[in-house]
Chains A and B, each alone.
Chain A
């Protein structure tokens, strides 16, 4: 089998379009050829990256403000996990335990100096980054630049976690800032955005303040605009079509993958560190 044949087989598998003989050939090749296994893994990984990669502005394009407010339920992975945490721990806000030392928006924090062990300690200011992943209340952000700081800031190139800042209610209770949460929920993977951040601990940051435009956008209902303009181009998807399933692989409802009692293969294996 040539490389071209192998690639075609992988492509057809990843499109859910294998015939029975092709599926048998794929299985035989997977069992016998480590290089083929790796190639399938790489192409599947590329496929999983596609949304983030394609959401990023094309070379030369000027990225718009909080770009694509399409909230894919599937993309918000730990929503389900967070819901379980809420149910099991009884906290009122999912992943709220992220913040055992919360930042209160608008409340002055004591100045803290960086240390060798904690180089971002006390950091507060704007950070431009690209969204790599997100949950209901937290983002994974690749830091692209730290505006207003001379020289190459040590944060640049790092991947950090960003959660909503907190705010105090009229009754004096500290809780997550709902506007921040709405903002985080709307940011899509691949989007580049400048955020005012406050360091919490390690690689965890909280939003300090949103700009007026960011707050407006966070509080608005879902928009349809995208970073690359309108959708009149016939190559682009019509606006009345919702995100949907491919026809290649029908799906059903909840599945019973959870086997209580943790069978042997559900325990972390000894071996190479991931």
Chain B
């Protein structure tokens, strides 16, 4: 694969691959780092890949090994990782989903996020854009960790329902 094709594909599929890694490791910050590793490996191996290969499928197979290696390295940490079968099963969803479906989903998510009340949007931003720990958020807002966690759960669920509703209306879900 030519380097231009590789870089274009990495840019084009970055969020899908990051989403895949997030589903596998349960932590977006880790997923971002692992994505860098996936990209480096793909770059090293680009000459083995055909110009028109199934890019996400290729990324999935590399991501699977990267996550397994990471899990092995983190064996002593108190972090519970999914087993191989679960990793594989959720990663396959990304491989099997056509790119336009993710594109439509992203647009729907953006529309739904725009409608969030400013307070909720700000808390989401602090947590998910700036990776602020829940404990710090709770302390700065003089509330409990549980209250912040519940709020995040409620807002994410509302966002997901809003996206589903939009996709259903558009007949794309």
Residues of A within 8 A of B (CB): 7-8, 11, 13-20, 23, 26-27, 30-31, 37-38, 40-56, 58-59, 74-75, 77-82, 84-85, 88-89, 95, 97-98, 132-135, 138-140, 159, 161, 233-238, 241, 243-252, 254-259, 262-263, 265-269, 271-274
Contact = CB atoms under 8 A, between A and B. Distances in A.
Nearest to A190: B110
Interface in B1-54: 2-4, 6-8, 10-16, 18-20, 22-23, 25-45, 48-50, 53-54
B39 to A, nearest CB: 4
A272 B66 contact: no
Contact of B95 (A159, A244, A272): A272
B150 to A, nearest CB: 10
Given A138-B11, A271-B95, A97 B39 contact: no
Contacts of A265: 61, 64-65
Most chain A CB neighbours (cut-off 10 Å) among B26, B34, B57, B70: B26
A37 B110 contact: no
Contacts of A246: 27, 29, 131, 133
Most chain A CB neighbours (cut-off 10 Å) among B13, B27, B65, B74: B27
12 contacts: A18-B80, A20-B80, A27-B82, A46-B163, A50-B124, A78-B43, A80-B39, A133-B14, A234-B140, A248-B133, A266-B61, A274-B98
A255 B13 CA distance: 22
Interface residues of B, number: 109
Contacts of A140: 11-12
Given A56-B114, A85-B43, 20 more contacts: A8-B153, A18-B80, A23-B82, A41-B23, A54-B121, A58-B114, A58-B116, A81-B6, A97-B3, A134-B11, A245-B29, A246-B133, A249-B29, A250-B77, A257-B38, A257-B41, A257-B62, A257-B70, A267-B58, A274-B57
B157 A7 contact: yes
Given A56-B114, A78-B10, A268 B65 contact: no
Contact of A249 (B42, B79, B109): B79
A11 B157 contact: yes
